[in-house]
Chain A
Amino acid sequence: MKILVCITNVPDTTAKITFIDNDTKLNKAGVQFIIGPYDDYALARAVELKEKLGGSVTVLHVGGADADPQIRKALAIGADDAIRVDSDPIDSYFVASQIAHVAGQNNYDLILMGRESIDFNSGVVHGLVGEMLGIPSYSPVMKLEIEGTTATLAREIDGGKETLSASLPLVLGCQEPISEWKIPNMRGIMTARTKPLLVVEPVSVEEFTVPENFSLPAPKGACKMIPADQAETLIKLLRTEAKVI
């Protein structure tokens, strides 16, 4: 079983987001970066599958060297080796093209991703990669078992879930409860230092989208407090003032 796990390098979920350089760049000062939480689920399941079925787990990231600590963490969690495509992750199409290029040179049985990155929240890279490689893609996947060359999975659909089985290779976008996040142990951290991290140049891709600038939501007005013993006033306000009921 050869598994590729694609990870993002994103601001921690509690990070305060601000921009610099005339709102054209994320202000990284004081922001802690992490492996995307959904990618972390994908990685955890990949490591479990490897332990059960044998094979290897490769992590892949498209981005700059500032992601290397997160890539090392993925290696410490149990991936065997890593590839970093050394380029700004320009947009979903660009990132997917890089992933599809790497995947095209190695025959992975399974390409696991997060259901979405928490910076761009697109939820599209898995579909793009699947189509570029001509293989199926499913997301969000909450359960995954492999037997021989068949994957049985449960995915969330609007208001419920569905199970299906499909032949490998597949691209899957993962979410909980597919697995539990893993924390690297001391041995993992030691061995991660010497595991291979291959840095490769990007392939050229036509530029489809160009980011212009960023902005923040308008600040929220003050919260109108209603005394607990007059709770029913709330319902009146929702009808006459907010006009939502």
Chain B
Amino acid sequence: MRLAATLDLLELRKAGRTPWRTRLVTLATVIVTVIAIVLILATTSRDARAFVTSISSNFAAVGFWVPECTVIFVPLALASLGVGLARRAGFWNIGGEAQILLGALGGFLLARLLPDLRAPFSQTLAIVAAFIFGACACGLFSLLKTHRGADEVLTTLLSNFLVLHFIAYLVGGPLRDPESKWIQSSTLFEAYRFARISGFGRMNTSIVVLIIGSVCFLLLERRTSWSTLLKLNGDNPNAVSALRIDPNRVILGASLVSGGLCGMAGWIELAGNQYRLVQDLSPGYGFYAILVAVIGGGTVLRTLLTAVVFALLLHTIDGVVRDAGVPVYMKEAILGLGLLVYVVNERLRTHSFVVRPH
């Protein structure tokens, strides 16, 4: 019983949300995180000099790293906007990976069905198909949540592995490229690809999709009542009911758009970067999107800004993985630590941790 009494002494007490406290905690968190990331990366690299050279050479040529970062940025930003939108409405979309893969599958199947389509139509239709596939994958779980009470974190999380195995089956079986020795689908037709912008490395026209999407999102956020409705629903579904609006429909709408955006992200990764369907098409964008979305706090500009920072971070890590022998799995550790730092920081901004005096 002594232990039980000791455990009960630890508690979290609400502290005033004073500006200096909020800022100090956030600043301290950011500094600690940056130092931790650099230390982790540096200690796992072959030697410190290779590490520094890798970073400096990576960022020496603007013509190199800007296009490289956009290749990461575009799908990541779309997925993050999607996850953030659903989060705002009170729906945790952890199934980004599944929707990314399904979106890519949707576009790819369309390309298989209509191989003769010309360029602007083919790309537009493929994006629509990707959106629909992703939206269905997410909307299903919102219906299960609202009508059957199934916790969406669990169902969307599990859908990731379900879809991953399903795609593995497809690319290893029905969709497998018979001429390749690798387990992958055949390459995508030229008409469906996002063309590379000449002179800008791997940067491609998919950035147009992101720009259009972001503008639509900004208008949605600033000029429509739907965004207010989403926020209201996330904070208090009863308030939405009081407006004689069905909260379930708000969640359904948000989750459809959320899944659709993730699906588009998947299609952009396929048609803009990799050109074929593989099991590990997404390098974890669906999971990074959760972190980007929560740090972005649901607003479009902050989410985009956070996505830029993450694209830079991922690009830097790719560089030191390639040049300085840092294990690629560091990415996963940093993602996890980032999530933990984020939640603890959120708590400490408004609460303080105390050991209750006797």
| Binding between chains A and B | no
- A contact set with B: CB distance below 8 Å: none
